[in-house]
Amino acid sequence: MITLSAIGIGGYIGIAVGGIVLILLMALIIRAASKAVSQPTMEPIDYPELDKKVIGEHLSEALRFETISMVDAYKGKDEPFLAFREWMLKTYPHVAKEAELTVIAGYSLVFCLKGSDFDLLPCAFLSHQDVVPAPAKGWDYPPFSGAMGEDGYIYGRGALDMKDHLVAVLEGAEYWLSRGKHFERTTYLCFGHDEEPGQSLDGAPNIVRYFQQQGVRLEFVLDEGGSIIEGKQLFAKGYVAAIGATEKGMGDLEIVVHQEGGHSSRPMYPSANGILADVIRRIEKHPMRARMTPLLKQTFVTLSGATNPLFKFVLANADVFAPLLKVVLSKASPVTNALVRTTLATTVLWGSDARNTIANEVKVNVNFRTLSGETSEDVVKHLNKILKKYIKTGQVRIDLLAHSEPSPESRCDGEVFDTLTKSIRQTFEETTVIPYVFLGATDSRFYAPICDRIYRFGPVVMGWDDESRFHGINERIHPDKLARAVRFFVTYMDNACHAVD
């Protein structure tokens, strides 16, 4: 028999530590159980009058307009935009009749549906008309044909980004107006024309200036962004709908290398190319630090209610397990890595203009995406640190180009957000709605001066292979998914804007 005296002081310490660990473990289990709440199931709302075939035909027609962003080789090619505008007015006659249309910067469109309750702040549904170029090579169907494929999908540039969204917004508004309804809340439909080039100058910024001149402040903005995916991709049940409550900042900078060059028959080392190669290696080897933002922690806590007990325990206690999650997310995939840090990607390189000449100056473009809590200045400081060896000698110079900072984080609680999540669950059964950091850039970032609640969500279920079709070949959407997106906007417009007689 072992007596207490035989245990010794080490034994007592071990028992105490074990007890503390057990208590902490139980506390975390209880904490996880209280925070990991499953979202209520909503009864889906159907609209039998919605004609899937007609909606699909409308998108097919919209895809035939080659509204490629008017930059570079397409500068000044505005005929498709003007024709597309006329098509909208013809295809959606009730929107054309009831809405006041303001044309901004020649091509961006603002449809204003005046509400009957002036105590309600207006809202805005955003989309963009422009698409990226689409060389025909590799496509199963011509990229601007809007063809219905043998597989039942509608093919064309903009089918996913984002004429599907634009058509769904117009279909949603047309649905209520064609039935003699109007909205209590003043509702704007804002369609920019130059979102794709990355640094919109004429469209969204001028739309926001127009609103500011009119003294308009918005209750909420909904733009493209997160989508709906199968929950199993995130170890969750059912489906998961991701709402972008913020988006990363973005920008470009050039790193310029100066070093004596000359004829390739008399090379000297290190050459400008050699230094540039080392610069790129340092950028890739020394990423900016990983961080768990408050919004990302909220993402995991919200998701935890739809996961198994083990994931629920970890995700619901995301603040406690942040060090572990940072490591896992950094290594899991490029997407998860981008959720926890500011990323830098070397994209375009410039060098010698002759095969037998060693350039005196070479440079590389670095595209960066800034995480909330950091700025473009932090990116430059990081590069100054990892490249100080060359900067001190004057061999390397960093030139910051056009950039925008991370957008403010919108609240993910309260009536405005709850109405959005309810509308999603009324459209997509067995769906958990989570807020998250949107990794791309949208026109919505310009609306921060006039709106505190900006959300980024595209109501389309995305499969594994859809991601590569954005800006890629064989961009497509199934009519069933498009019809479901229209159902969402019909529902959301009623819930948020209040369609009444």
Active-site positions?
130, 195
**Residues ≥6 apart with Cβ < 8 Å to 434:** 240, 241, 242, 243, 299, 302, 303
The DSSP bridge pattern shows strands 361-370 and 343-350 to be antiparallel
Nearest to 181 by CA among 283, 111, 113: 113
Q: Is 203 exposed, middle or buried (0-12, 13-18, 19+ CB in 10 A)?
A: buried
How big is the CA angle at 487 (ends 484 and 492), to the nearest 5 degrees? 130
- The CA distance from 346 to 113, in Å, is 44
Output the CA–CA distances (angstroms, integers) from residue 52 to 49, 61, 332, 427, in the order listed.
9, 14, 39, 15
Return the exposure string of 327-340: e unless at least 16 CB atoms fall within 10 Å of the residue's CB, then b: eebbeeeeeeebbb
283 and 366 Cβ atoms separated by less than 8 Å: yes
Nearest to 38 by CA among 171, 231, 222: 231
Is the peptide bond between 162 and the residue preceding it cis, with omega within 30 degrees of 0? yes
DSSP structure class, residue 450 = G
- The CA distance from 496 to 448, in Å, is 20
**Residues ≥6 apart with Cβ < 8 Å to 166:** 62, 127, 128, 129, 191
- The CA distance from 445 to 427, in Å, is 27
